[in-house]
Amino acid sequence: MKTIIEINSAVNGFVWGPIMLALLVGTGIYLSVCVGFIQFSKIGYWWKNTIGRIFKKTEAGEGEITPLQAVSTALASTVGTGNIAGVTGAIILGGPGAVFWMWISALFGMVTKFSEVTLAVKYRERNSKGDWCGGPMYYIKNGLGPRWRWLAVVFSTFGAIAAFGIGNISQVHSIASSVQSVAVAFHEDAVNFNTIICLITGVAVAVFVALVLIGGVKRIGQVTEKLVPFMAVVYIVCALIVVFANADAVPGVFASIFQGAFNPTAAVGGVVGISVKTAMTKGVGRGVFSNEAGLGSAPIAHAATSEKNPVRQGLYGIFEVFMDTIVICTLTSLVVLCSGAATGNYGNDDLAGVPTAVAGFASVFGDKLGSVILAVGLLLFATSTILGWALYGTRCAEFLFGSKIIRPYQVLFCLVVVAGSVANLKLVWDISDTLNGLMAIPNLIGILLLSPVVVKLTREHFAAVKDGRIE
């Protein structure tokens, strides 16, 4: 067991270390150059064709979901505990400057995800049930040819296993912990019933997930279409209340973010261990972990869209990263920094997560209401992530073993939800976190080799827009 832990720790240090993070950001920069920095040059166009189309009614046929449902499902998996605990941890361990590097990774990650989604729609295929299936395993197999199938198998293997950790155990554990904290906040004796509270929470979440999965990809799309906008609005409003209540601190906070990006020592008062490298690594790492640009997961959801134009669906990839990191992660950062919750806690591992976020909201709403707000936020964020990753894991397993594996995989996934709520499955989570990072390697290889296809599709699309052939 000790050997397994040591090997996993070494591999994890690589896949979430400076080299891989530089590769992820570097891929985003390269792709941005190739397509003319469309995240900036076409900002009006992608804004109009994403958020501007949300209220436009669209129909989806058999085995597919609407473009909004596709992006909602993708956002359901990306907007998770990383937006709260992950961002707070990055700030505590990397200082305010980590936020700046998180923004940088997101700005270039927008085009990485645009490319992933575009390729997913371009190279998707129908399965035996008539559902659209796509993602890195399909654009590697169908785009690069049969001799690259082994790389698609590698990605699918990592994804099918990683779903149990990043998209299951870590999420339900956060839900159970937040429910526990609320119970204790309102009644101290509740601490004696922690295991029972966690078990009930796990069973409730598992039942909900099972009921949604029974309905297939269309049910997942219908649920996330309602859940994601609701949870985003609730969290954004509560976060803005805290920021406005501390409006006087906002200018200083932004100053500390930019100063901390290049001079962390000055920004955090000389805390030992926080360097530019630390700020950069924590910021980029948590940014990538949160928006998943380059990891290859979100394209699996986008591939089920009824949209026939790959580039038009790809625009939702840009919006997805914008919403996840530039909006929600930034608001979490402002709550923690404007409220002063991070002050004096830099470098403290024990406070690098939910406790500091709770303190941020509690500064305005009080301890009890602050705990409830975080609990509701984590419940909605984590539950939606579980749904999204249930789809991702299922599609990866299906690619490996065929449609017959779908139901057994989903049953096992729901059982792990219950187990993850009450058991200490840290090793499973750690291994899955490593596999999640390893997913990026075959995916980035596929994207880079297929980048000429992305460039061709993008140029053809905007040429048609200029000529008035498409909107």
Cα within 13 Å of Cα(327), Cβ side: 15
- Return the amino acid letter for 463: A
Q: What angle do CA 355, 360, 361 make, to 5 degrees?
A: 100
Per-run averaged pLDDT (10 residues), the chain, 471 residues: 76 78 89 94 88 67 70 74 77 86 92 95 88 92 93 94 84 78 66 73 89 82 80 87 91 89 70 71 80 88 88 91 90 89 70 74 81 78 86 93 92 90 70 80 94 95 83 70
> SS3 of 96, please?
coil
Q: Is the separation of the CB atoms in 358 and 180 below 8 Å?
A: no
What pLDDT score was predicted for residue 347? 67
Q: Return d(Cα 160, Cα 429) in angstroms, integer.
A: 13
Handedness of CA 47, 53, 54, 58 (dihedral sign): negative
**CB within 8 A of 212, min separation 6: which ones?**
219, 220, 223, 387
- Judge whether 170 and 81 are in contact, CB under 8 Å: yes
* Sign of CA pseudo-dihedral 458, 464, 468, 471: negative
| In the block, residue with structure tokens 């939910």 | 354
Residue 293 in 3-state DSSP?
coil
307 residue type, one letter: E
Nearest 5 degrees, angle CA 51-CA 55-CA 57? Answer: 125
Let me know the angle formed at the C-alpha of 351 by 345 and 357, rounded to the nearest 5 degrees: 95
Angle of helix 354-365 relative to helix 367-401, nearest 10 degrees, comes to 140
**pLDDT at res. 60:** 60
φ, ψ (nearest 5 deg) of residue 65: -130, 165
Output the pLDDT for position 273: 63
Could you tell me how far CA 111 lies from the centroid of its own chain? 16
As given in the structure block, the two tokens for residue 56 are 């436009």
Rounded-to-integer distance, Cα 456 and Cα 432, Å: 35
86 contacts 289 by C-beta, under 8 angstroms:
yes
How many angstroms separate the CA atoms of 335 and 113, rounded? 27
Of 280, 240, 296, which Cα lies nearest the Cα of 78? 296
What is the set of domains in the chain, with CATH numbers?
A: 18-462 (1.20.1740.10)
Other C-beta atoms closer than 10 Å to the C-beta of 273 total: 12
Please report the sign of the dihedral spanned by the C-alpha atoms of residue 453, residue 455, residue 459, residue 462: positive
447-456 burial, b at 16+ Cβ within 10 Å, e below that, comes to beebbebbee
Q: How buried is 97 (Cβ within 10 angstroms: 0-12 exposed, 13-18 middle, 19+ buried)?
A: buried
Per-residue pLDDT at 52:
73
Angle, CA 283 vertex, CA 162 and CA 267 arms, to 5°: 155
Residue with tokens 């690098």: 352
CA distance 460 to 398: 33
The token duo for 88 is: 């707070």
Q: In this structure, what token pair is assigned to residue 101?
A: 């590097």
Contact assessment for residue 206 and residue 415, using Cβ atoms and an 8 Å cutoff? yes
Alpha carbon 185 to chain centroid, angstroms: 29
CA 65-42-285 angle, to 5 degrees, is 75
Whether residue 36 contacts residue 275, with contact meaning beta carbons closer than 8 Å, is answered with: no
Cα 403 from chain centroid (whole Å): 26
Per-residue confidence (pLDDT) for residue 191, from 0 to 100 = 56
Q: What angle do CA 152, 156, 162 make, to 5 degrees?
A: 145
